[in-house]
Structure 1
Amino acid sequence: MNRTAPVSVILVDDEVSFVTVLAKRLALRGLDSLATTSGPQAIQALRSRDFDVAVLDLKMDRMDGMEVLRLFRQMLPSMRVIMLTGHGGETEARQAIMAGAYDYIIKPCEFEDLLAKIEKAADAARRSRDENTS
């Protein structure tokens, strides 16, 4: 993937250990990632900076992933959102795709599979931004 700046990813999952480890692994691969543990925290972060990709858990306390997805799509339409869902959540994940998510992945997932989806989503986000600015 040809990029001038590192891919920026916001991670949103109420499993603290999951997002912390994922952020560290993405950083080791040269991605700029921010781990957040709630929808409100992620929305606040999005108010202060842009991201190429969001990795967003579907089921969270306080604010569910579908609500966060809708707000993300309004706030930053070029950002691509990958939904995380547990086994049995495929129906909800497909509903998220219809609501504007770019892709989904089922937890537990292989890091390399998620990384490939993030890089593909980042390419799509950057192409979309380039098309809208030219």
Structure 2
Amino acid sequence: MKSILIAVVCASSLMAASPEVGNYMQQLQTEASEPFDAARGEALFTAEQIGKKGTKIACTSCHGSDLTQKGKNVNTGKIIDALSPGANPARLTSLKEVKKWLRRNFKDVYNREGTAQEKGDVLTYIMQYR
């Protein structure tokens, strides 16, 4: 029963992603201890941490709290396109970009690489955001 639930959750989340990103999510799920959860992903995305530069930062510091809107990098001032695939269909289409930005942003905010569970939870949150 648990594997059926995991498959349903993953399938509904993957509708917004490319096939490569969908396969990546399935790989992460095999490494994770629980089914991915958008609420847990949102908590990770919005939680303030002492980042790698020694100041308080959260994913929302750059991406904002409305993922359908553009954000702005707090360090460089560079404009960041909307993170929600519903608002920006180019999001979550390149596996290389997804892996790169997950690794980089977890290191910037959490001072470490995210776990498979954390990456999957955050991606699930972003994918379902409308």
TM-score normalised by length of structure 1: 0.32
- Structure richer in strand, relative to its length: 1
The higher relative CO (CA closer than 8 Å, separation ≥ 6) is in 2
TM-score normalised by length of structure 2: 0.32
Structure showing greater radius of gyration is 2
